[in-house]
Amino acid sequence: MREDYQPNELVGRDEEIQKYQAALQPVINGEQPNNIFLYGKTGVGKTAVTRYLLSHLAEDASQYEDLELHLTFLNCDGLTSSYQIATRLVNEFRDETAQISSTGYPRATVYEMLWKELDAIGGTNLIVLDEVDHVEDDSILYQLPRARANNKVSGAKIGIIGISNDFSFRDDLSPKVKSSLCEQEIHFPAYDAGDLQKILEQRRDVAFRDGVLNDAVIRLCAAYGAKDAGDARQSIDLLMKAGDLAREEEAKTITENHVETGRHDLERGRIEEGIRGLTQHGHLVLYSLLTLHLQDGTPVRSRDIRPRYTSFAQRAGRDPLVPRRMRDHLSELVMLGLVSVTERNEGRRGGTYREYSLAMNVELVLSALDEVVDEVGIHESIHSLVTDDIFRDS
């Protein structure tokens, strides 16, 4: 059920696998490999399919004596520049005793080292750059695929497999990078409920004891997954959570109730994480809006949130931010989906203004705001909720 498990078979991805295999065919033919770009939302199998196909490719390649295939996987999370990618690759190719430091060299020098390493390794090199959208400058995405054509390397054939869940990344690539990196593009669409059901059934067979998990439970997890984002990771996590809850209760089977509770817990976790990641002023703005919501004071304009925000900030011992900065925090809450916004017209004079409302379950928000409630004090509007043991429950 965990991320590092590599399924033996991947369901619901036949079309993508077929395209991907065709794009990898030149490797087996000993030709210059294609550069391949995979894109699609999170949890739709881009990494899983890549690992699956490349392990099969390596097996196939090992049967040909004259075919020397080298695979390198690099997750670009935390690697924001071409320089960092290049140094990381050099170190991947070198042995422990000859590693280079990740700072201090001119970029051209690191590229020279990289070409040298690749030439020394020789054969066909497929380099997977997962989460490639973290790289902010595209130099390496141009240099690597063109290294052979530009006579930087002669002994090695290089192919790049870029993976991204950021659609704007692909659109924003410069034309010259796009034409080399995205030679073969494969789009991974979201899974539907039927696909997710098959994925979960496959996990049932390897992860659960016989008879503890019935079809209705799997259907429910798949339906929620399809409704949310068509993300396999999310559905698998939900099933795992339901299993954990059943185990904690020492129940004999997993029920739809475990799924419902699990979903609630996971959603709570996600929201809490989002709220806890905000700054203290973000918390103060959210607490202000929440109390206004409970007093039927929403939708509300930012200037009418301000007096409450100001008094809460003072009570927490903080200087209130100027209106514009307070509005920035409101916008951040909107982006996180915690707050909704509506544009309104001011009538004949023509101006527009925005009204804000709370877009999340009150209990959930309140339980994540416990620290700021401690600092500001319990506002009268949340009194009954707090004494109803919301905090103790959570």
Ligand X SMILES: Nc1ncnc2c1ncn2[C@@H]1O[C@H](COP(=O)(O)OP(=O)(O)OP(=O)(O)O)[C@@H](O)[C@H]1O
Residues lying near ligand X in the complex (CB under 6 A): 3, 7, 10-13, 40, 42-48, 165, 199, 202, 232-233, 236
Exposure on the CB side of residue 63, measured as CA atoms within 13 A: 6
> Closest approach of Cβ 40 to ligand X, in Å?
6
DSSP code at position 97: G
**Which of residues 117 and 195 has its CB atom nearest to ligand X in the complex?**
195
**Which of residues 48 and 275 has its CB atom nearest to ligand X in the complex?**
48
> Closest approach of Cβ 215 to ligand X, in Å?
18
> Closest approach of Cβ 217 to ligand X, in Å?
18
**b vs e for 35-70, b when ≥16 Cβ sit within 10 Å of the residue's Cβ?**
bbbbbbbebbbbbbbbbbbbeebeeebeeeeeebbb
CB contact set of 48 (below 8 Å; sequence gap of 6+): 6, 7, 10, 232
**Which of residues 13 and 258 has its CB atom nearest to ligand X in the complex?**
13
**Which of residues 13 and 152 has its CB atom nearest to ligand X in the complex?**
13
Cβ proximity of 161 and 128 under 8 Å: yes
Exposure on the CB side of residue 325, measured as CA atoms within 13 A: 11
> Closest approach of Cβ 42 to ligand X, in Å?
3
Cβ proximity of 207 and 218 under 8 Å: no
**Which of residues 12 and 320 has its CB atom nearest to ligand X in the complex?**
12
> Closest approach of Cβ 290 to ligand X, in Å?
31
> Closest approach of Cβ 7 to ligand X, in Å?
4
Residue nearest to ligand X (CB): 45
- The 339-345 sheet, strands edge to edge: 300-301, 352-358, 339-345
**Which of residues 43 and 282 has its CB atom nearest to ligand X in the complex?**
43
**Which of residues 52 and 287 has its CB atom nearest to ligand X in the complex?**
52
What is the C-alpha to C-alpha distance for residues 148 and 106, in angstroms, rounded to an integer? 21
Read off φ and ψ for residue 307, nearest 5 degrees: -55, -40
Q: Annotation-wise, does 47 bind a ligand?
A: yes
**b vs e for 264-299, b when ≥16 Cβ sit within 10 Å of the residue's Cβ?**
eebebeebbebbeebeebbbbbbbbbbbbbbeebbb
> Closest approach of Cβ 181 to ligand X, in Å?
17
Q: Annotation-wise, does 243 bind a ligand?
A: no
Q: Which of 73, 68, 77, 79 minimizes the C-alpha distance to 124? A: 68
Q: Annotation-wise, does 50 bind a ligand?
A: no
Q: Annotation-wise, does 45 bind a ligand?
A: yes
Q: Annotation-wise, does 103 bind a ligand?
A: no
Strand pairing category for 352-358 and 339-345: antiparallel
What is the C-alpha to C-alpha distance for residues 276 and 288, in angstroms, rounded to an integer? 16
> Closest approach of Cβ 25 to ligand X, in Å?
22
What is the C-alpha to C-alpha distance for residues 276 and 370, in angstroms, rounded to an integer? 10
**Which of residues 72 and 340 has its CB atom nearest to ligand X in the complex?**
72
Known binding residues for ATP are 44-48, 191, 203
| Residues that constitute the known binding site | 44-48, 191, 203
